């Protein structure tokens, strides 16, 4: 489990085909992780399968590649990193599972005082999981939804977040790993099962 508070920026140093998916090597100074450790990579919870000085390796399955932006990662791609939450850690963002629901599209970026307003389009299937003042995670960054209009929603990115994550470099047309609030996901599922029974 994560909080959506990015602690490091890494970069892809190698991509290779692996059985049923891809193997990624990530260059980052995150300290020792340990084989089998979890780490959120631009919002995707992955398992460390290799480790060396200043880098670690991850495997991504075909399912992960199909539901996230990982299939577009190339050498040099910059990614947001977050180590998992430990018991007793401060919960500075919101609960993030690292289970990406879908890829969203950045359809607009505009100044908003010192901040920047992103307008993001989500797949129609996620529309019922988005609510004003609700939580959303974009490329591993915990954010608050400002408004929802159909399948699009707005979020404000403060200067600090723009500076310490990859969001600051994004422009309209970018694709983002999107995780809806896990609580909304389960409430929606309970309601769906209740209607069906």
| pLDDT digits 0-9 by tens, 152-174 | 999 999 999 999 999 999 999 99
Predicted TM-score of the model (pTM): 0.92
- Give the SS3 label for residue 52: strand
Quote the pLDDT of residue 189: 72
How many domains does the structure of the chain reveal?
2
The answer to whether residue 159 is domain-embedded is yes
67 phi/psi in degrees, rounded to 5 = -105, 0
In a domain, 93, yes or no: no
pLDDT over 70, % of the chain = 99
Residues 120 and 73 in one domain: no
CATH number at residue 13: 2.40.30.20
d(CA 117, CA 97): 25
Which residues constitute the domain of residue 74?
Answer: 8-82
Q: By C-alpha distance, which of 4, 18, 1 is closest to 144?
A: 4
> For the purposes of burial, counting CB atoms within 10 Å of the CB of 191, is it exposed (0-12), middle (13-18) or buried (19 or more)?
exposed
Q: Is residue 95 part of a domain?
A: no
Verify that 64 and 111 share a domain, yes or no. no
Examine residue 44 and state whether it is found in any structural domain, yes or no: yes
How many residues make up the chain in this entry?
A: 197
């Amino acid at each position: 489990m994560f909080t959506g508070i990015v602690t490091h920026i890494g970069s892809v140093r190698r991509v290779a085909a692996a059985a049923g998916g891809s193997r990624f090597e990530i260059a980052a100074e995150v300290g020792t992780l340990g084989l089998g450790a979890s780490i959120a990579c631009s919002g995707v919870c992955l398992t460390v399968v290799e480790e060396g000085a200043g880098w670690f390796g991850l495997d991504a399955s075909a399912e992960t590649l199909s539901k996230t932006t990982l299939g577009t990662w190339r050498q040099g791609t910059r990614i947001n990193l977050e180590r998992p939450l430990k018991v007793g850690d401060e919960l500075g963002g919101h609960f993030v599972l690292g289970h990406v629901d879908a890829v969203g599209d950045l359809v607009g970026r505009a100044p908003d005082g010192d901040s920047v307003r992103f307008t993001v389009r989500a797949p129609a299937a996620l529309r019922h999981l988005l609510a004003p003042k609700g939580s959303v995670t974009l490329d591993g960054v915990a954010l608050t939804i400002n408004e929802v209009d159909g399948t699009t929603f707005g979020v404000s990115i403060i200067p600090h977040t723009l500076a310490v994550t990859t969001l600051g470099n994004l422009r309209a047309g970018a694709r983002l790993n999107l995780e809806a609030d896990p609580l909304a996901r389960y409430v929606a599922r309970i309601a769906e099962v209740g209607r069906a029974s």
